[in-house]
Structure 1
Amino acid sequence: MSVLFYIFLFLFVGLCTLLCFVILIQESKSLGLGASFGGDASDSLFGTSTAAVLKKFTAYLAGFFLLVCLVLSIWSSSIGRSAAKAPMGVTIEEGP
C-alpha cells in the first residue's frame, strides 16, 4: 500500500508543476510570461481563444488539484494512525 501512496504522491508533484506552468503561461494585463519569450499578444498557440481555453483548463486542473490534495491528506492521516496503533516489534504485556 505504501508503494501506491508514493506513486500517487509523485503524480501529485507532477500535477503541481503542471498547474504552476499553466498559470504562468496565461496572459495578464502586462502580457505575463509570454512576453518574456518574445511572443506578441496576438500570437497564440491555440488560436484566438487561447485565454478562454487556458482559463478553463486551469479551473479544471485546480479542481483536480484540490480533490487529490484532500485524498492524499486523508490517506496520509490514516497511514499515520495505523502506524501509531501497532509499532513494529513491540508487544505490550499486561500484568495479572
Structure 2
Amino acid sequence: MNAINPAEGLGRFLTLADTAEVLSVSPHEVLDLVRSGELPAIKVGSKGQWRIENSVLESYIEALYEETRRMSLWNQSDIAAVTEVNFGEQRTR
C-alpha cells in the first residue's frame, strides 16, 4: 500500500476486511455502511460475498471529504446561527 491510494495494490475489488483497513474501521462497520446503502457494493460468488470496487471506495472517501468541507463552511457562515426563517408567511394564533 502507498500513501497516495492505500487500496491501489489490492486490486479492483476489495473485501470488507480490505475496505475496513483502508478506512481504519472494523469490518462490521463496513458491512453496516454497505447494508445501509451508504457504501455501494456487490455480492459475488456462490457464497454471495460482498466486494467494494476500489474506485467506488475512493469516490466515497472524496464525498466524505466534500461533506466535511461543506459542513465546515456552513458552520462558519452567519446563517448557521439562524434557527427559523419566515418567508412572509403569517401565523394565526
- TM-score with structure 1 setting the length: 0.35
Higher helix share: 1
Higher relative contact order (CA 8 A, sep 6+): 1
Bigger radius of gyration among the two: 1
